[in-house]
Amino acid sequence: MADIPDPVTETDPDELRMIIQRLSRRIRVHRAADGISDAQLGVLFQLEKHGDRTPGQLAEHEGVTPPSINRTINGLEEAGWITRNPDPDDARRVRIRLTDSGSAIITETRRLRAAWFTQRLAILTPQERRLLQEVTPLLRRLSDS
């Protein structure tokens, strides 16, 4: 009976980390607006996914400090991509809402990134694309853990 390789010892964590980081950097350069930061895009994507959020919720999700998220929110508001609205349950708080312009930034960024990724996938064989499709849920589990 053949030995089954141990995936922990067969996978170099440093190499996998570097590959994922490099791929992530190459994807992130494709964005709909010049000058929009990764932090700003992260907030826009979060608002699209979760709806209106408080600055505290945004900061917690992004793993940044309140002053940092406020700088990000200020830039997004100046660009017209978000609005601040009074919280209906607590007038002392505000809720951040995605505008139509902000939604358009997300849509165009996704389109640009999908086009780039589609071009990259074209160099793979059908078998390699199937393998990548099979690995995707595993990578998702790793990133969510």
**pLDDT band at 7; cut points 50, 70, 90:** low
Lowest average pLDDT, out of 6-20, 25-39, 119-133, goes to 6-20
- Flag whether pLDDT at 98 surpasses 90: yes
Q: What is the CB neighbour count within 10 angstroms for residue 129?
A: 12
Residues comprising the chain, all counted: 145
Say how far apart CA 113 and CA 124 lie, in whole Å.
Answer: 17
- Name all domains of the chain by residue range, CATH numbers in brackets: 34-116 (1.10.10.10)
For residue 13, is pLDDT > 90?
A: no
Spatial separation of the C-alpha atoms in residues 81 and 44, rounded to whole Å: 8
Check whether 62 has a pLDDT greater than 90: yes
Based on the number of CB atoms within 10 Å of its own CB, is 96 exposed (0-12), middle (13-18) or buried (19 or more)? buried
Residue given tokens 């979760």 in the structure block: 50
**Residue-level pLDDT at 52:** 96
Quote the pLDDT of residue 143: 83
- Record the pTM: 0.78
